[in-house]
Amino acid sequence: MTKPLLAAAVAATLVLTGCGSGSGSSSSGEVRLRMIESLTSPERTKLIKTLIADFEKANPGVTVELVSPPLDSADQKITQILQTKKDLDVLEVRDHTAKSFSNNGWLAELPTAEWPGWSDLTELAQKKAVEVGGKAYLIPYGFYQRTLFYRTDYGMTQPPTTWEELYAAGKQMTSGDRYGYSFRGGKGGADYAVMMISAYNGEALNPEKSFYLKDKRTIFSTPEAAQAMELYVKIFKEASPPDSVSWGYPEMVQGFTSGVTGMLIQDPEVIKTVEDSGVTAWSTAPIPKGPTGYAFQPVGYAGWGATSFTKHPKEAVKLVQFLSEAKQSIAFAKGNSLIPISKQAQSDPQFSQGAWKAYLQAQQDPKQVITIRPVDYPGWSQFLVDSDRDVQALITGKTTVADVLKSWDAFWMDQAKKVS
Amino acid sequence: MRTFNVRRARFIALCLLPGVVFVALFTYYPVLRGAVMAFQQYNLFDLTSTPFVGLENFRAVLGEDRFWTALRNTGTWVVVSLFFQFFLGFGLALLLRRHFRGRGLYQAWVFFPWAMSGFLIGLLWRWMFNGQFGVINDLLLKTGIIDQRIGFLASPGWAMTSVIVANVWYGVTFFAIMIMAALQSVPKELYEAASVDGASRLRQFWHVTLPHIRPTLALIVLLRIIWILNFPDLIYSMTGGGPAGSTDIITTFLIQQVIGGDYGRAGAVGLLILGLLLSFSVFYLNATRFEKSR
């Protein structure tokens, strides 16, 4: 990539967006770090700024400038800046950008051995920190793990524990303007289909490469996958609002809080929304299992990393470590309704009571398995776009279960060849 | 005198320089870079190797059914949107040309959508068209026009209609503004002369107004066609191109390639769009030039 022009373009963009001072050392010897976030929202930015202020207080002579691009174009902007290898020290790395950022040599490996905070990280946080090539390119700041939300005022005393039960309960709830399940047919919808297919494949699935079975076939190639997809379509047709063919996150949650639907599967950040909505008769449970007795789901995550080209590696790493230590990371997890990375959070009442209990319950169940999605395969991003489209085609009757599974199977067999 | 002219030319060139640099940097450079990428394997996943692959990206794009579906949808999206925007805009301009009480307020109200971002408009209409919670369904139910909710964004046929309705609402304004400006440029004497000759209002419109504003109309129609085709914001925020690709146009298809991380294919789609628009513009300008010379 030609650097000077791109660098000039990025610099000009940063100047125009009011972020022009750049990282470096001032004449007084003060170190200026530039940090960029990806999942930007006003409240979150405010919270990060307070944490940064604490860091600056604890590290006199170091100042941090936070760049907060708009959410929908943030990762593209971060990629552009990384391509220039200039003016960036600390950045937010997401599960699906970690591999490409490290592949391209943009991330520094973070030291873990001599950092006391490392031993305070939960097993999951440590595992995810080194998920890419066994090296710590980021320290996660929290996890997104799905759970089942259900309305107890809709005649449901016990939550469904299997997808079949969810379908039956949803169908029973469906009448008039009320439906059983907040189906996700819009962006991100295919992930729910994959979740069901995984549960139906059960023990045969390889959790480390969760689109593949232990015998190297894809999870989409089995009769169990077809069974799961048939049920998936039935859940949409018989237990979900027809409009949910285009529902994304906001509509799903709105469906549940407004009383249009009685069940929802979502991340913990919904807890606060449901609490604020005034709905009182609701509860949570671990996600449903397949006939195999297993449930599989990945945990979504993001974290803080340092660039490989920072002029201040010591200070950049220090900032990442500071944000990942117990006090800061728990505050961040609380502020954003995330599953925390610090072991100390387990004794915090917020994470062990009420709606959060279901997450602990799931973590203690060996058959609620955390998987690793093939985010490190070159076709991952393309699959996310294509599979959502396929799911919409399937539930609107434009294609068949067999055709969808055949194309997904072919795609991932091809990907396996590319990676091996 | 000559020295003065040279100095003046230099001064003008100096004043223009920042603009030229900005346009070169932010318009021509990205276009050239994208054009080069179209012939490279340029996947964001691994930029350590970006070899030239000839026409491979074009072959891949043209071999996709989704591209052809998007191209067909683009035709519907542009033609239907343009038709309604033009005629409704024209009507509004004629109405707003007249003097009446509160005309300023009406003008502000009509022009308001043009000040909003396409993405925001998309989000707004997405909620209004929502099958369960949307105000449009509520209104139709309460007025007895329908007896059960319509999934405006859920069924392929309705989804295209819905995005076009939103686009028409947005684009009418542009036509209204431009046509109003054009109408104001018609000399009053022409109407007076036509009136003396006994021409009715309709004949005045046909023989005075229309010929006078025709060049402006031709230009704004061309501009609008290009803008509508290059306006994925609204569709992307309303339906994301769904359900099942039924509202995909070639620019949303392009966005999907970018999100997929394949900048090589995205570059190829970009060049195809550029080629399409250039060919159309040349054809259209030739056709309208012929019309003028006639």
Q: Write out pLDDT tens, residues B232-276.
A: 999 988 998 889 889 999 999 999 898 888 899 999 999 999 999
pLDDT band at B72; cut points 50, 70, 90: very high
**Which two tokens mark B138?**
């509520």
* Phi, psi angles (nearest 5°) of residue B225: -60, -45
Cross-chain Cβ contact A76/B240 below 8 Å: no
**pLDDT average, residue stretch B201-215:** 88
**Residue B50, pLDDT score:** 86
Per the DSSP assignment, residues forming a β-bridge with A150 are A263, A283
B64 touches chain A (CB under 8 A): no
Cross-chain Cβ contact A100/B45 below 8 Å: yes
Measure in Å the smallest separation between the Cα of A315 and chain B Cα atoms: 28
Cross-chain Cβ contact B239/A246 below 8 Å: yes
Q: In B, residues 139-158, which contact A (CB 8 Å cutoff)?
A: 149, 151, 153-156
**Residue A420, pLDDT score:** 65
- Neighbouring CB atoms inside 10 A of B288's CB total 17
Cross-chain Cβ contact A1/B25 below 8 Å: no
Chain B neighbors of A393, CB-CB under 8 A: 244-245
Place of tokens 């191209």: B71
Alpha-carbon span A233 to A242, nearest angstrom: 12
**Which two tokens mark B83?**
């038709």
Length of chain B: 294
Alpha-carbon span B161 to B149, nearest angstrom: 16
First-to-last alpha carbon distance for chain B, in angstroms, is 44
B28 touches chain A (CB under 8 A): no
Chain A neighbors of B241, CB-CB under 8 A: 389
**Residue A327, pLDDT score:** 94
Measure in Å the smallest separation between the Cα of B65 and chain A Cα atoms: 12
- Taking any CB pair shorter than 8 Å as contact, residues of chain A touching chain B are 1-2, 5, 8-9, 12, 76, 79, 83, 99-100, 103-105, 177, 185-187, 241-246, 248, 251, 254-255, 258, 260, 378, 380-382, 384-386, 388-389, 392-393, 396, 398-399
pLDDT tops 90 at residue B199: no
Contact yes or no for B253/B139 (Cβ under 8 A): no
pLDDT tops 80 at residue B100: no
Cross-chain Cβ contact A243/B151 below 8 Å: yes
DSSP state of B100: -
**Residue A12, pLDDT score:** 46
- The SS3 of residue B175 is helix
Over its C-alpha atoms, chain A yields an Rg (Å, rounded) of 22
Q: Which residues of chain A have pLDDT under 50?
A: 1-21
Q: How far is CA A368 from the centre of its chain?
A: 17
Alpha-carbon span A241 to A177, nearest angstrom: 8
Cβ-based contacts under 8 A for chains A and B: 107
A5, A9, A187: residue with CB nearest B240 = A187
Place of tokens 């490290």: A102
pLDDT tops 70 at residue B177: yes
Q: Show Cβ contacts of residue B117 under 8 Å, excluding neighbours closer than 6 positions.
A: B233
First-to-last alpha carbon distance for chain A, in angstroms, is 27
Q: Which one of A6, A82, A392, A395 would you mutate to disrupt binding with B, by most B Cβ within 10 Å of its Cβ?
A: A392
**Residue A14, pLDDT score:** 42
pLDDT, mean over chain B:
88
A79, A260, A389: residue with CB nearest B244 = A389
Q: Which one of A16, A245, A252 would you mutate to disrupt binding with B, by most B Cβ within 10 Å of its Cβ?
A: A245
